[in-house]
Amino acid sequence: MLDWDDLRYFLALARHGSLSSAAKALHVAQSTVGRRLTSLEASLGVRLLNRTPDGYVPTLAGQELRLKAERLEAEVLTVERDISGRDTQLSGLVRITCVETVAAHILAPCFAALQRAHPDIVIELIPNSRELSLAMREADISVRLTVPEQHDLVVRRIGSVAFGLYASSGYLKERGELAMDDGCPGHSLITQLGDDHEMTQTAWLTDLAPRARVAMQTSSHEASVLAAAHGGGLACLACFRADTQSGLARIEAPTEPPRATLSLIVHKDNRDIPRIRVALTHITESVRKMREVLDPETAT
């Protein structure tokens, strides 16, 4: 008989493509993932994943098993949500995913107050540029600057974030006038790489300075802030973060960068679980108290 745990490890490896990523997602050692895969392949008598230079790739048998295992996984998760939805205790774990800057500068401070009010609730804050699946219970709550394409989600707009054009004073002194009407020749840009929540701002920046060269790309907003502060180039940054960073200067531009909507996302089956509902309420209230910092123009 197949072991469901072996299937879970197989799915994680098939999705993430490497032992290290799968182990991180499952909170186990890499050797455990490899051992579980070997056990599953031995019990079925067939190879399920081939190891390639680009990572683990499913064989034909592996592709077929993945489809069936994902259907089984969906049923198991539905049962778990139905049962956990009956939990009436203000205690237990709440997993929250968001991007790094939101985690460090918006959510982490507010969870101290939540802990004082509800000491039996444990928050697991997961800064991750990849959108974790709420349906697959990789997280319970997501705070994002875009809306993910997942089904059965409840999405609430809780605020907006203003962006601006920034560079260090030293950089501006060294490079001289921006000449925005001429596409900013001779300048360097710091842009986002593979981070959908800021691609609109990246497009604005590259349209503003088409003659500048992209000197750095990163999926980390924090890395962009620090790179710009140390003279790495022009960057479109969240004002609430960049305005507090020593060494950065905001530059007036002919057009404003597009704002980002801050969304609070939860699976519909989990929104009424007391500990999750408390966390949702606390996040919403905390973000709204910060609205004048996050986006002063829309707060009035």
SS3 assignment for 63-88: HHHHHHHHHHHHHHHHHHHHHHCCCC
Whether 191 and 116 map to the same domain: the answer is no
Q: What region does 150 belong to: left with phi over 0, alpha with psi -120 to 50, or beta?
A: beta
Q: Do the domain assignments include residue 23?
A: yes
- Domain edge (last residue) among 84, 104, 125: 84
User: Which is it for strands 248-251 and 141-144: parallel, antiparallel or unpaired?
Assistant: unpaired
Question: Strand pairing partners for 238?
Answer: 163
Q: Decide if pLDDT at 149 tops 90.
A: no
76-117 residue pLDDT tens: 777 666 665 555 567 889 999 988 889 999 998 888 888 888
We report the CATH number of the domain holding residue 247 as 3.40.190.10
pLDDT, residue 80, reads: 64
Q: Do the domain assignments include residue 31?
A: yes
Q: Do the domain assignments include residue 299?
A: no
CA distance 232 to 98: 26
Residue 294 phi/psi, 5-degree rounding, is -70, -40
**DSSP 8-state assignment for residue 192:** E
Whether 129 and 174 map to the same domain: the answer is no
Q: Is the pTM of this model over 0.75?
A: no
pLDDT, residue 189, reads: 97
CB 52 within 8 A of CB 62: no
pLDDT, residue 140, reads: 92
Identify which of 22, 187, 220 has the alpha carbon closest to the alpha carbon of residue 104. Answer: 220
Question: Distance of CA 101 to CAs 91, 98, 172, 234, Å?
Answer: 27, 8, 25, 19
Could you tell me how far CA 176 lies from the centroid of its own chain? 36
Q: Do the domain assignments include residue 192?
A: yes
Q: How confident is the model at residue 170 (pLDDT cuts 50, 70, 90)?
A: very high
Q: Do the domain assignments include residue 261?
A: no
Q: How confident is the model at residue 30 (pLDDT cuts 50, 70, 90)?
A: confident
Whether 207 and 246 map to the same domain: the answer is yes
Whether 11 and 56 map to the same domain: the answer is yes
Domain of residue 104 covers: 92-152+267-291
For the chain, what is the domain count? 3
CB 257 within 8 A of CB 165: yes
Q: In what order do the strands lie in the sheet with 213-218?
A: 213-218, 188-192, 234-238, 163-168, 248-251
CA neighbours closer than 13 Å in the CB half-sphere of residue 121: 26
Q: How confident is the model at residue 204 (pLDDT cuts 50, 70, 90)?
A: very high
- Considering the chain, what is the average pLDDT of its residues? 87
Burial of 192 by CB count in 10 Å (0-12 exposed, 13-18 middle, 19+ buried)?
buried
Residue 95 phi/psi, 5-degree rounding, is -100, 125
CB atoms near residue 16 (< 10 Å) = 19
Q: In what order do the strands lie in the sheet with 260-267?
A: 121-127, 92-98, 141-144, 260-267, 153-161
49-78 residue pLDDT tens: 998 888 899 999 889 988 888 888 777 777
Could you tell me how far CA 5 lies from the centroid of its own chain? 27
Residue 63 phi/psi, 5-degree rounding, is -65, -45
